[in-house]
């Protein structure tokens, strides 16, 4: 596992962050999770553009131009040296005073970590994930916009922790009116009578880049993905349910709160998974 930190690429375990960094103290910063597939960094420029938008949304200046950050990601991926990996690119507000006031920070901090992918093990992928509906709810978009990938992920962490402690693989997050938002770190898709549906960002779903890529793949095959509100009932009644994300990849859901979801056949997931390697190859940056 390698990390770019303060101008050098080192073993990630050797990085040390000052205790007064506002990313550590207050979750004040933004990040991107990026997939490395077949030796290529997937949709790198799209991830960098989203990082810039997130930073702008919270009034955070990036410490260097996007072209420089692009080179840092590729250099760190090359140092890690694996064809399949995960990139965590983050920018914190930097060191400041022991106060919430972000104007006390005058030097944002960039860190790029490249590590093996460990979100779900192979046994869980083969049988399909066991989801649990989380007790915590996704904040409304007027409270915390899900399009901002901030370092404050406590909502997701608590949902994931509760699910794991109760023997499930992951958590399903609902919003304040009971509509499906997403899993703890992945988007949700459901086949409803042959129509592929995913929640809209207005329901608390991050508009993920893997999610957007599935729209492209489906459209190229002559199909469309609908965005509309979903409930637990919809998922339990669905023909198939699966998750997508930079870390998760594409992975089936086998059950929700102990009730089986869909059947053994997962035609949507199978078709998208077949098309994925070529799409990732075409939209990846070699390093």
CATH of 2-115, one of 3.40.50.170, 3.30.540.10, 3.40.960.10, 3.30.470.10: 3.30.470.10
In tens digits, the chain (287 residues) has pLDDT values of 999 999 999 999 999 999 999 999 999 999 999 999 999 999 999 999 999 999 999 999 999 999 999 999 999 999 999 999 999 999 999 999 999 999 999 999 999 999 999 888 888 999 999 999 999 999 887 887 888 999 999 999 999 999 999 999 999 999 999 999 999 999 999 999 999 999 999 999 999 999 999 999 999 999 999 999 999 999 999 999 999 999 999 999 999 999 999 988 899 999 999 999 999 999 999 99
Nearest residue to 21 via CA among 158, 155, 151, 156: 151
Phi then psi for residue 138, to 5 deg, are -75, 130
pLDDT at 179: 98
pLDDT at 238: 98
Bridge pairing between strands 195-198 and 40-42: unpaired
How many Cα atoms sit within 13 Å of 220 on the Cβ side?
Answer: 12
C-alpha distances in angstroms, 258 versus 129, 156, 237?
11, 21, 14
Report the CATH number of the 122-286 domain. Answer: 3.20.10.10
| Tokens standing for residue 165 | 């402690």
CA angle 73/209/72 to nearest 5° reads 5
Cα separation of 128 and 266, whole Å? 11
Largest CA distance in the chain: 56
pLDDT at 160: 97
Length reported for the chain = 287
| Tokens standing for residue 281 | 């190859």
Nearest residue to 72 via CA among 149, 1, 150, 5: 5
pLDDT at 248: 93
pLDDT at 233: 98
pLDDT at 143: 80
> H or E element: which one contains 86?
strand 85-92
Residue 29 near residue 92, CB atoms below 8 Å: yes
Q: Where are the domains of the chain?
A: 2-115, 122-286
Nearest residue to 262 via CA among 236, 230, 232, 243: 236
């Amino acid at each position: 596992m390698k990390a770019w930190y303060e101008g050098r690429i080192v073993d990630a375990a050797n990085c040390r962050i000052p205790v007064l960094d506002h990313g550590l103290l207050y979750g004040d910063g933004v990040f991107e999770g990026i997939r490395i597939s077949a030796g290529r960094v997937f949709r790198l420029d799209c991830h960098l553009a989203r990082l810039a938008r997130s930073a702008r949304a919270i009034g955070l200046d990036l410490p260097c131009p996007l072209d420089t950050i692009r080179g840092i990601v590729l250099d760190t991926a090359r140092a890690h040296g694996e064809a399949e990996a995960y990139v965590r690119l983050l920018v914190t507000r930097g060191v400041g005073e022991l106060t919430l006031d972000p104007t006390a920070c005058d030097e944002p901090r960039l860190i790029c970590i490249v590590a093996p992918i460990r979100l779900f093990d192979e046994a869980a992928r083969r049988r399909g994930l066991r989801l649990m509906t989380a007790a915590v709810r996704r904040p409304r978009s007027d409270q915390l916009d899900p399009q901002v990938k901030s370092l404050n992920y406590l909502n997701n962490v608590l949902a994931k922790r509760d699910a794991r402690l109760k023997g499930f693989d992951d958590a399903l997050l609902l919003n304040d009116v009971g509509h499906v938002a997403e899993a703890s770190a992945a988007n949700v898709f459901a086949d409803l009578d042959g129509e592929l549906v995913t929640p809209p960002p207005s329901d608390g779903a991050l508009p993920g880049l893997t999610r957007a890529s599935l729209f492209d793949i489906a459209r190229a095959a002559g199909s469309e993905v609908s965005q509309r509100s979903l409930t637990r009932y919809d998922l339990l009644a669905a023909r198939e349910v699966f998750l997508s994300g930079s870390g998760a990849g594409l992975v089936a859901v086998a059950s929700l709160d102990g009730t089986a979801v869909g059947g053994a056949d997962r035609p949507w997931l199978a078709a998208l998974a077949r098309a994925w390697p070529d799409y990732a190859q075409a939209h990846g940056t070699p390093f």
